Amino acid sequence: MRFSTCNLAVLLFVVFCGCAQPSAYAADTPDTPHTFRLENGQYVLDGKPFRIIAGEMEYPRIPRAYWRDRMRKAKAMGLNTIATYVYWNIHEPQPGVYDFSDNKDVAEFIREAQEEGLYVILRPGPYICTEWDFGGVPSWLLKDHAVVRSTDPKFITPAARWLKRVGQELAPLQIENGGPILLVQVENEYGSFEKDHAYMEQIHNLILNAGFDKSVLYTADGPEQTPDGSLPELPAGINFGPGEAQKGFATLKSLRPQGPFFASEYWAGWFDFWGEKYTSTDAQKQANDIDWMLRQGYSINIYVFHGGTTFGWMNGANSKGPDYRPFVTSYDYNAALDESGRPTPKYYLFRDTIAKATGTVPPPVPQTADPITVPSFQLSKSASLWSALPEPIQSKDVLSMEDINQAYGYILYRTKISGPASGDLVLDALHDYAQIYLDGKLAGTIDRRLKQNSLTLKVDGTKTQLDILVENTGRVNFGLAIRGERKGITNSVTFAGRLLTGWQIYSLPLKDPSQMTYTDAACTGPCFYHATFNVAQPADTFLDTSAFTKGMVWLNGKPLGRIWDVGPQKALYVPASWLVQGSNEVIVLDLKGVPGHSLQGLNHPVLDAPVH
């Protein structure tokens, strides 16, 4: 699809006059029906062959004020389509309670894509992976031990209700209804999970019943997993990384010689784990793959074009056997467009590659305002976590977060143990990180990430208070391990070989710490630290968290994300749209807090600090 001389002239006019950019490579005029089909192994739009050149960018990870900016930069890189998942767990936080407001307004996100001249690939799941807590599935399914991603009615019934609700929001935005949605994906990489075609057929039918019958439906798997995860009646896309393009498409052609040939995810970057080095990938190798695929005439979705930020508690984790590896807050992904929406050298390399391979002239790259620094300011007020405990739940045995209708945050288990005694405190099974206190004094930590489940204790008193403060550091989002991914202490606690019972359990979702009472008194241990700082003109910045140990940061009531001194991330992205001119409020929870720390805003991210 060439960029015409006429369109270029119009674009230059509006750029120089300061107006909004026009829809170069324009997708569709809203409300004008079009046709999109598969014919002879090719995508065909309004009767003409059409190649998808897409990039993944997902609405919950991008502040709403920046959606259009990121879309315009997608077009300026040469993309004609964006892809997005739909995140079940943020839209249905409780069974039957839906939220499509503010940054969750996925329909508006898709409408804005169309207004910016982009088509859309929709990926509604119900499972989506994407390094997101529980793969986007709501944690409340675990309360009744639903077997997720199976034909278990405890999973299928709420999944059917959810997909029907997605259809109400988004089916009207399909291409034949005048919207921009070309493709709709059925499930997600199921061949890497199980081989259950009955389940896949159920999900296929649920998506059709939800009204997604005017788009081309497809499945997506690794090339070798395609037989297990695909359906014979649907086209199959393939997902793979650098250096795997030719082999991957050879495998797809052997399985589906009729086509279409679509790289449904080409991994042009990678994610990062707490306590592990930042991942930097080979941009030239990726550009070579993109060039080769486009010159073959194949369609492609770059995963990700722009990752953004996994704000708040929503990061997932990987797990294999005893390994548990939670993801950092940033979803920078070493992508073409970085976490804060700034074009990288990779962006310009990809832009040139796409232009040369397709013979097109992309629009100019929109300007991006520079990030600012914020002078250091003291966190002078504080409040102890221990002073803000809610009423406890009384239980003979330990309960998981899901058992007490809690999704995220912390959970505190309290009981009395008799002494004097020595032995191992064993948490079976801890999900995920615990600080152990005896009569209010920190005795040690237990970290699932380090394959720990016990701590040797010496108890001197006849009746000693045992506190176990547990953090949910992110539910596993990939593999069969997700089916047992309850949070807190998920089985039992023993000390010196004896089962401990008689628990007080405190639910600590920490949804609004701004309501706590902050004082000038010094606070040590699990503490919230509070401050305000002034901004003359809001602009992006990065809060330097290197002075703190482990916890969470809130800005003006919004959860920015997790902090952890194990690295590699040591600064949190602050979007300009979350700041206000004048006074801004910041709260830091530090599990091993000490008074006297300060914060500052950097004009650059810190994603590659040393790890330990």
pLDDT at 32 over 90: no
What's the pLDDT at 477?
Answer: 98
- Please give the structure tokens belonging to residue 67: 């959606």
For 397-501, which CATH class? mainly beta
- Please give the structure tokens belonging to residue 145: 């031990």
Which of 32-36, 310-314, 467-471, 487-491 is least confident? 32-36
Catalytic residue among 56, 131, 189, 471: 189
Sign (positive/negative) of CA torsion 197, 198, 199, 201?
positive
Q: Which amino acid is at 221?
A: D
**How many C-alpha atoms does 16 have within 13 Å on its Cβ side?**
6
Q: Which residues contact 300 (CB under 8 A, 6 or more apart)?
A: 52, 53, 54, 262, 263, 266, 290, 293, 294
Mean pLDDT to the nearest integer, 296-301: 98
What's the pLDDT at 20?
Answer: 31
- Please give the structure tokens belonging to residue 522: 């010094």
Burial class (CB in 10 A: 0-12, 13-18, 19+), 582: exposed
Mean pLDDT to the nearest integer, 239-262: 98
Catalytic residue among 116, 169, 265, 485: 265
Contact 218, 234 (CB under 8 A): yes
What's the pLDDT at 30?
Answer: 63
In angstroms, what CA-CA distances link 239 with 118, 190, 266?
22, 12, 6
What are the tens digits of pLDDT across the range 165-177?
999 999 999 999 9
Count helices and strands (H / E) in the chain.
Answer: 10, 32
Angle between helices 106-115 and 67-76 (to 10 degrees): 40
Residue 277: how many CB atoms within 10 A of its CB?
13
- CA dist 5 and 42 (Å) reads 28
Residue 22, classed as helix, strand or coil, is: coil
Nearest to 210 by CA among 269, 125, 97, 134: 125
End-to-end Cα separation, the chain, in angstroms = 49
- Please give the structure tokens belonging to residue 572: 């949190």
Q: Domain 5-358 adopts which CATH fold?
A: TIM Barrel (3.20.20)
For 374-383+511-602, which CATH class? mainly beta
Q: Which residues pair with 327 in a beta bridge?
A: 273
- Please give the structure tokens belonging to residue 306: 């722009």
In total, the chain counts a number of residues equal to 612
Give start and end residues of each alpha helix (H) in 56-195. Answer: 67-76, 88-91, 106-115, 153-170
pLDDT at 159 over 90: yes
Mean pLDDT to the nearest integer, 424-433: 98
> Would strands 488-495 and 550-555 be described as parallel, antiparallel, or unpaired?
unpaired
What's the pLDDT at 134?
Answer: 98
Question: Is residue 92 annotated as a catalytic residue, yes or no?
Answer: no
- Please give the structure tokens belonging to residue 311: 């704000």
- CA dist 601 and 376 (Å) reads 7
Q: Which residues contact 367 (CB under 8 A, 6 or more apart)?
A: none
- Please give the structure tokens belonging to residue 444: 């040690």
Contact 55, 79 (CB under 8 A): yes
Mean pLDDT to the nearest integer, 349-373: 97
User: Using 50, 70 and 90 to split pLDDT, how confident is the model at 23?
Assistant: very low
What's the pLDDT at 22?
Answer: 30
- CA dist 241 and 286 (Å) reads 8
Q: Which helix (H) or strand (E) holds 6?
A: helix 5-17
- Please give the structure tokens belonging to residue 355: 């232009």
Peptide bond into 126 cis (omega under 30): yes
Peptide bond into 531 cis (omega under 30): no
What's the pLDDT at 27?
Answer: 55
Residue 528, classed as helix, strand or coil, is: strand
Mean pLDDT to the nearest integer, 221-243: 98
pLDDT at 138 over 50: yes
In angstroms, what CA-CA distances link 366 with 108, 348, 534?
22, 13, 28
Distance of alpha carbon 541 from its chain centroid, rounded?
A: 21
What's the pLDDT at 29?
Answer: 55
Peptide bond into 260 cis (omega under 30): yes
The boundaries of every CATH 2.60.120.260 domain in the chain are 374-383+511-602, 397-501
* Buried b / exposed e along 395-405 (16+ C-beta atoms within 10 A): eeebbbbbbee
Which of 14-28, 220-234, 365-379, 430-444 is least confident? 14-28
- Please give the structure tokens belonging to residue 585: 């409020």
- What share of the chain has pLDDT > 90, as a percent? 93
In angstroms, what CA-CA distances link 4 with 10, 19, 68, 307, 360?
10, 20, 23, 31, 9
Contact 235, 256 (CB under 8 A): yes
Residue 14: how many CB atoms within 10 A of its CB?
12
Mean pLDDT to the nearest integer, 586-597: 97
pLDDT at 153 over 80: yes
Mean pLDDT to the nearest integer, 340-357: 98
Question: Is residue 265 annotated as a catalytic residue, yes or no?
Answer: yes
What's the pLDDT at 219?
Answer: 98
Nearest to 400 by CA among 140, 195, 93, 110: 140
Mean pLDDT to the nearest integer, 159-168: 98
Mean pLDDT to the nearest integer, 42-69: 98
Sign (positive/negative) of CA torsion 129, 133, 137, 142?
positive
Residue 10: how many CB atoms within 10 A of its CB?
14
What are the tens digits of pLDDT across the range 57-105?
999 999 999 999 999 999 999 999 999 999 999 999 999 999 999 999 9
pLDDT at 17 over 90: no
pLDDT at 15 over 80: no
Mean pLDDT to the nearest integer, 585-599: 97
Q: Which residues contact 17 (CB under 8 A, 6 or more apart)?
A: none
Mean pLDDT to the nearest integer, 461-466: 93
Residue with tokens 């997909």: 163
